[in-house]
Structure 1
Amino acid sequence: MGVRLDNVGIVVEDLDAAIEFFVVLGLECEGRASVDGDWAGRVTGLPGQRVDIATMRTPDGHGRLELSRFREPAPAADHRRAPVNALGYLRVMFNVDDLDTVLDRARALGAELVSTEVVDYRGVYRLCYIRGPEGILLGLAESIG
């Protein structure tokens, strides 16, 4: 049986700002759409849902994020500022070619380091966590080994 990760979903308030942020990180907007109708509510358990989505693709074509903005129903909970040890899905990790350049571009859009530094992991990776728009938690890694 084959298994392939298709995408990771992130719910946001400002879809355009989220798209801009992930473009700055190097992803491409593959497409945008509105999703509603009986079938959608049956899948998610949210009857009457109306959602705007954008699919963001990594340059290698293998990874995707699905950014969603719910028009109906309103979001039921807010986990954007959960600490890094909170239970549940937490972050997405990206491997980048030039961590310092990516950090500079992300900071220009308001991203902040979770810690005070970028860490060298055993001479193999430079790593950090950042909070992007709406507090979205991301990991960034640059291979150095």
Structure 2
Amino acid sequence: MTIKRMDNVAIVVDDLDVAVAFFTALGMELEGRMPIEGSWAGRVVGLDDVRSEIAMMRVPGAPGRLELTTYHHPEAITAEPEVSPPNTLGLHRVMFAVDDIEDTLARLRPHGAELVGEVVRYEDSYLLCYLRGPSGIILALAQQLG
């Protein structure tokens, strides 16, 4: 048995419009948006009376998609602490390769992006940074040098 592909990574957000705007500013495209509800949805995720909405974001011209999900019922819960540090167990971050890390940060800051640490240079290979986006999502950006 072989894995055919990784379809997407799902991220639960509190405000779908804000998250879509943030990832659009990053350079992703909205592939589609739709409500998800009904008994089948509840059986898949193990919650009763699920009503949610998803927005599928894609990387233009490349593989890789994010499924942004907001829950209307039951409401999403917040992990403790509300803004978890990068060493918290579980899904850590999503990394994107970018052409210009400073330009990308400048586009994302008006959408609430904040650096977790600093933009650092790894040898002569990469500029790297972690940033926090909507709903506390941690992203990593990597700009290849040379």
Per the shorter chain, which TM-score range? over 0.9
Amino acid corresponding to residue 26 of structure 1 in structure 2: G
Provide the C-alpha distance between the structure 2 equivalents of 1:133 and 1:108, rounded to a whole number of angstroms: 12
How far 1:81 sits from its partner (Å)? 1.2
How far 1:47 sits from its partner (Å)? 1.9
Indicate the residue corresponding to 2:84 in structure 1: 82
Indicate the residue corresponding to 1:16 in structure 2: 17
Provide the C-alpha distance between the structure 2 equivalents of 1:34 and 1:14, rounded to a whole number of angstroms: 14
**Equivalent residue pairs, number:** 144
Provide the C-alpha distance between the structure 2 equivalents of 1:40 and 1:135, rounded to a whole number of angstroms: 25
Question: Unaligned 5+ residue runs, structure 2?
Answer: none
How far 1:83 sits from its partner (Å)? 0.4
Indicate the residue corresponding to 2:123 in structure 1: 122
Provide the C-alpha distance between the structure 2 equivalents of 1:37 and 1:134, rounded to a whole number of angstroms: 25
How far 1:111 sits from its partner (Å)? 0.9
How far 1:135 sits from its partner (Å)? 1.8
Provide the C-alpha distance between the structure 2 equivalents of 1:60 and 1:86, rounded to a whole number of angstroms: 32
Contact 2:14 2:76 in 1 (8 A): no
Amino acid corresponding to residue 123 of structure 1 in structure 2: D
What pairs up with 1:60-75 in 2 under 5 angstroms?
A: 60-75=61-76
SS in 2 for 1:21: helix
How far 1:90 sits from its partner (Å)? 1.7
Indicate the residue corresponding to 1:51 in structure 2: 52
Provide the C-alpha distance between the structure 2 equivalents of 1:76 and 1:82, rounded to a whole number of angstroms: 14
Provide the C-alpha distance between the structure 1 equivalents of 2:115 and 2:41, rounded to a whole number of angstroms: 36
Q: Percent identity?
A: 52
**Aligned-residue RMSD, C-alpha:** 1.3
Amino acid corresponding to residue 21 of structure 1 in structure 2: F
Provide the C-alpha distance between the structure 1 equivalents of 2:3 and 2:12, rounded to a whole number of angstroms: 28
Runs of 4+ in structure 1 off by over 3 angstroms are none
Question: Unaligned 5+ residue runs, structure 1?
Answer: none
Normalised by the length of structure 1, the TM-score is: 0.94
SS in 1 for 2:95: strand
Q: Which has the higher mean CA deviation after the structures are superposed, 78-87 or 118-127?
A: 78-87
